[in-house]
Amino acid sequence: MSGITQSTALWYASRATGVVTLVLLTLVVLLGIVVNRQGRLPGLPRFAVTGLHRSISLLAVAFLAIHVITAIADQYVTIQLIAAVVPFASSYEPFQIGLGAVALDLIAALIVTSLLRARIGRRLWRGVHWLAYVSYPVAVLHSVTSAKDLQSGGLLVLTLVCVLAVAAAVCYRIAAARSAGGPASPGGPLDAGIYRTAADHHSARWPATGGDGQDTVPAAVLAGDRPAPRNGAGR
């Protein structure tokens, strides 16, 4: 390998951001499953986990945007702008680039519905977010088929680790849902903008102050993000 030059900088940038996006999407899917099933990670309250999920989702979107822009701007091959959003419209590797366009469109649908969640309703939002389980494998197929780097060596190992981790998490989610007697709802990658802040989270569940002006949220609840006792104990 001759190294990065002015003529290959965009190619390397596209490849690198593609790999980073795949890793970030994997983390988003895994956190989505944890947030919806367990509600927290060991040592972290729920709002911290959802905040982490949101932050990684936004970071994944940023790297995905850079990946698409650098791929289009790279003059080594010709990928039209329309080919990035219209599946299988590319004159260069139409199948591989088409898979990327499908994944991009699905992720865009997840983002838009997350931003409009308050207006479209939870039922429609949940229905659209089943696409989360479709967008991830499509993105993986796009990565493996379009980038020979991911077909061998360390990047292949990294890809396999990502896929196996998501597969194990989904299997756990299905098994846990069946044992609980309920359906498994999608964890939903890229739920950008839908999570409440810590203050919103608590104010929605408990009044900020009581009638005497005192804080009615127990300190232990604020620290551990546990539901308030229904019998009034601890107030």
pLDDT at 71: 93
Q: Token digits for 41?
A: 């990670």
pLDDT at 191: 47
pLDDT at 120: 87
pLDDT at 149: 85
Minimal CA–CA distance to 134: which of 161, 170, 168, 158?
170
What per-residue string of b and e applies to 76-113 under the rule 16 or more CB within 10 Å gives b?
Answer: eeebeeebbeebeebeeeeebbbbbbbbbbbbeebbeb
pTM of the model: 0.72
Q: What percent of the chain has pLDDT over 70?
A: 70
The pLDDT tens digits along the chain (235 residues) read: 456 776 688 989 999 999 999 999 999 988 888 766 555 666 677 777 778 888 999 999 999 999 999 999 988 888 999 999 999 999 899 999 999 999 999 999 888 888 888 888 888 888 888 877 789 999 999 999 998 888 889 999 999 999 999 999 888 888 877 887 655 555 555 544 444 334 444 444 444 444 444 444 444 444 444 444 444 444 4
DSSP string, 152-182: SHHHHHHHHHHHHHHHHHHHHHHHHHHHHTS
Residues shown for the chain: 235
pLDDT at 118: 84
In the chain, where are the structural domains located? 3-180
Backbone angles phi, psi at 43, to 5 degrees: 85, -5
Lookup result for tokens 């490849």: 15
Q: CB–CB of 96/67 below 8 Å?
A: no
**Alpha helices (H) in the chain, listed in sequence order:** 9-37, 46-73, 81-85, 94-115, 117-120, 122-128, 132-146, 153-180, 198-203, 219-224
